[in-house]
Amino acid sequence: MLTGALLEVQGLEKSFGAIMACARLSLSIMPGEMHAIIGPNGAGKSTLVALIAGELRPDAGVIRFSGKEITALSVHKRSRLGLARSFQITSIFQGFTVLDNVALAIQARSGHSFRFWQNARQIAALREPAFSMLEQVGLTGRAQAVAAELSYGEQRQLEIAMALAVKPKLLLLDEPMAGMGAEESEQLTALLLSLKGKQTLVLVEHDMDAVFSLADRISVLVYGRMIAVGTPDVIRSLPEVRKAYLGDEEMEGACSRID
Amino acid sequence: MDNFRHFDLRSAALFLLLAVLAVIPLFGDIFYTRLMTRIMIYAMAALSLDLILGYGGMVSLGHAAFLGVGAYTVGILSLWGVQSAFLSWPLAMLVSMLMALVIGAISLRVSGVSFIMITLAFAQMLYYCFISLKGYGGSDGMTLPVRSSLAGLLDISRHGSFYYLVLCILLLIFFAAHRLVHSRFGMVVQGIRDNERRMLALGFPAFRYKLVCFVLAAGVAGLAGALMANQNLYVGPALMHWKQSAEILVMVILGGMRSLAGPVLGAMALLIAEEALSSYTEHWMIILGPLLVIVVLFGRKGIYGMLKRSR
């Protein structure tokens, strides 16, 4: 166990009937670290994300976040503590404009919203930070577009922008590159690289290029068990990792997937 | 009136409507004055339902309960000798809101069909509760001796005065609701409607916001109920029967959800159609029913939505 960890997961267990989705799983994320979690389909990555975010309750185990136990805390309270996430399946407000989407995320960290009179779209304290967030992800040109009209790649960018906009202590990205083309993935990788050292990140991802260029450490999850944790170089060279997940010598080829 | 700057068919229709509403009592025909007063009161109720239905995404089939609670508050106070509108109308709103706080705190724990059924069940419970209140008329309801008094500022026993008061209140509510749906609170409520999971992930306690929205809407419905009691000089349990809730729901859907003008137009269209058709036949529902089906099928955004498209 590492001391001073921002997120600390200990002995986490979760099963669905006979399926053990998470088996005595432990994980420590240090402040400023970019930590990737990889594993084949059905390894329990989505379950782990849901457990950390608070959408699922573990059968056993403890989750601590910045020194506080959050195992029983609801999703919105965890978010308030600074644990933000993005969704694997794009989860934006389709009927709102792109700027509205991010402004709503800014609003989430700007005190309570029991404010009934002032027009939310005219509050500079919400709109300006939202706009600069769009600048950061390269979506300013689409600020006034309705979110539903964005291309898939742009929607993924918006998804990330909203997660970043709440200025989280820890950002949990659930397959941010899912369904993206090679060029879009590279753009997003570059964006995340620019956050290196400034943003603590847990990245669940299948795109091995992204994982190996971003991660400080990588955890390998297979059938709900953490079979290895280490730096990219260590993970790359582990025979059991190759066998369990990477498959053979040609990593990139083996890691493409369809789902 | 979502955007005042664009003079389109919608704004034109609304300004025309406002102009017509402004002059109706001047013709001196009490029948039309009273009919339009009733329509405007229902418009308030429909507008309040749209706040939770259209903006909040909560399909309530018990909204008339708050209408009834508001009306009974005024009726019971009147029976006790309290005639002041400044006392009884705010109290009507308050009692409705307290009732909504209890009903909402329980029913908002579920969504979808369960929510519809629980709101319906609560409304029917209140309906039977008031039927059994023999002291307050039971199933016959009770008549009010006089309309509420406004401390000599305005004599609303005259139909024309009451009409203009109701019109002013409707405009005030419309304006306040316009502010509300564009406020930070309004954005949150609409965000929850579209994607509650994401709102939670962003850190919004969704339940609390939905509950406040539910309670605010009930307050407006309670005020509509207070006005209804004055309009009819009668309050009865039929006001909170589920058919009444359904009728308000139809007004919202017919006029167009997710807009503020829609429910007003819906109330107007439905009640005028009822009035017109029922003078020809007592089986007017046979005609009105299919008409509703057509509007809902071909204009999924209701009358107000169609106005935009045919621009």
Bridge partner residues of A25 (DSSP): A12
> Distance between CA atoms of B108 and B211, rounded to whole angstroms?
7
Q: Are B15 and B171 in contact (CB under 8 A)?
A: no
Cross-chain Cβ contact A120/B191 below 8 Å: no
Q: Rounded to an integer, what distance in angstroms lies between the CA atom of residue A21 and that of residue A35?
A: 20
Tell me which chain B residue has its CA closest to the CA of residue A95: B194
Q: What pLDDT was estimated at residue A96? A: 96
Contact A100 B179 (CB under 8 A): no
Span A187-214, pLDDT tens digits: 899 999 999 989 999 999 988 889 999 9
Q: Which residues contact B41 (CB under 8 A, 6 or more apart)?
A: B166, B224, B227, B228, B231
Task: Enumerate domains of chain A plus CATH numbers.
Answer: 1-82+168-259 (3.40.50.300), 95-167 (no CATH)
Chain B: residue nearest A96 by CA?
B191
Q: Which residues of B touch A120 (CB under 8 A)?
A: 182-184, 186-187
Q: Which residues of B touch A (CB under 8 A)?
A: 179-180, 182-188, 190-191, 194-195, 197-206, 209, 212
Cα A158 from Cα A127, distance rounded (Å): 15
Report the alpha-carbon distance of residue B43 to residue B309 in Å, rounded: 23
Share of residues in chain A with pLDDT > 90 (%): 71
Please give the mean pLDDT across all residues of chain A: 89
Distance from CA of B225 to the nearest CA of A (A): 23
In chain B, the residue whose alpha carbon lies closest to the alpha carbon of A164 is B202
Q: Whole-angstrom Cα distance, residue A144 to residue B307?
A: 24
Contacts with B91 (C-beta within 8 Å, 6 or more apart), sequence order: B73, B77
A166 contacts in B (CB within 8 Å)? 202-203
pLDDT band at A247 (very low <50, low <70, confident <90, very high): low
More reliable by pLDDT, A246 or B238: B238
Q: How does DSSP classify residue A119?
A: B
Query: Which residues are A28's β-sheet partners?
Result: A8
In this predicted structure, what is the pLDDT of residue A246?
57
- Interchain contact, A116 vs B188, CB within 8 Å: no
Please spell the DSSP secondary structure of chain A, one letter per residue.
--TT-SEEEEEEEEEETTEEEEEEEEEEE-TT-EEEEE--TTSSHHHHHHHHHTSS--SEEEEEETTEE-TT--HHHHHHHTEEEE-SS----TTSBHHHHHHHHHHHTSS-----SSBGGG-HHHHHHHHHHHHHHT-GGGTTSBGGGS-HHHHHHHHHHHHHHT--SEEEEESTTTT--HHHHHHHHHHHHTTTTTSEEEEE-S-HHHHHHH-SEEEEEETTEEEEEE-HHHHHH-HHHIIIII-SS-HHHHH----
Interface probe with A: pick from B3, B178, B198, B211, most Cβ of A within 10 Å: B198
Q: Which residue of B has its CA nearest to A100?
A: B187
Residues of chain A with Cβ-Cβ distance to B187 below 8 Å are 100, 103-104, 107, 113, 120
- Residues near A105 by beta carbon (within 8 Å), at least 6 away in sequence: A130, A133, A161, A162, A163, A165, A166, B202
> 3-state DSSP call for residue A235?
helix
Residue B299: pLDDT band (50, 70, 90) is: confident
Residues 164-193 of A with CB under 8 A from B: 166
Q: Which among B183, B200, B206 has CB closest to A115? A: B183
pLDDT one-digit tens code per residue, A21-75: 999 999 999 999 999 999 888 889 999 999 999 999 999 999 999 999 999 999 9
User: Which residues are within 8 A (CB) of A253 and not within 5 positions of it... i.e. 6 or more apart?
Assistant: none
**Cβ pair A105:B183 closer than 8 A:** no
Angstroms from A173 CA to nearest CA on chain B? 12
A104 near B CB under 8 A: yes
- Residue with the bigger pLDDT between A83 and B292: it is A83
For residue A174, how far is the Cα from the chain centroid? Answer: 4
- The whole-number average pLDDT for the span B215-226 is 98
Per-residue pLDDT band at A180 (split at 50, 70, 90): confident
Task: Judge contact between A37 and A52, C-beta under 8 A.
Answer: no
Does B219 score more than 90 pLDDT?
Answer: yes
Q: Which of A91-100, B198-207, B274-283 has the lowest mean pLDDT?
A: B274-283
10 Å Cβ neighbour count for B18? 12
- Phi first, then psi, for residue A61 (nearest 5°) are 110, 170
Residue of A nearest to B179 (CA): A117
pTM (2 decimals)?
0.91
Instruction: Give the DSSP H or E segment for B98.
Output: helix B85-107
**Cβ proximity of A133 and A13 under 8 Å:** no
d(CA A10, CA A22): 11
Residue A258 has a CB neighbour count (10 Å cut-off) of 4
Residue pair A228/A215 in contact by the 8 Å Cβ criterion: no
On chain A, the residues whose CB falls within 8 A of the CB of B179 are 116-117, 119
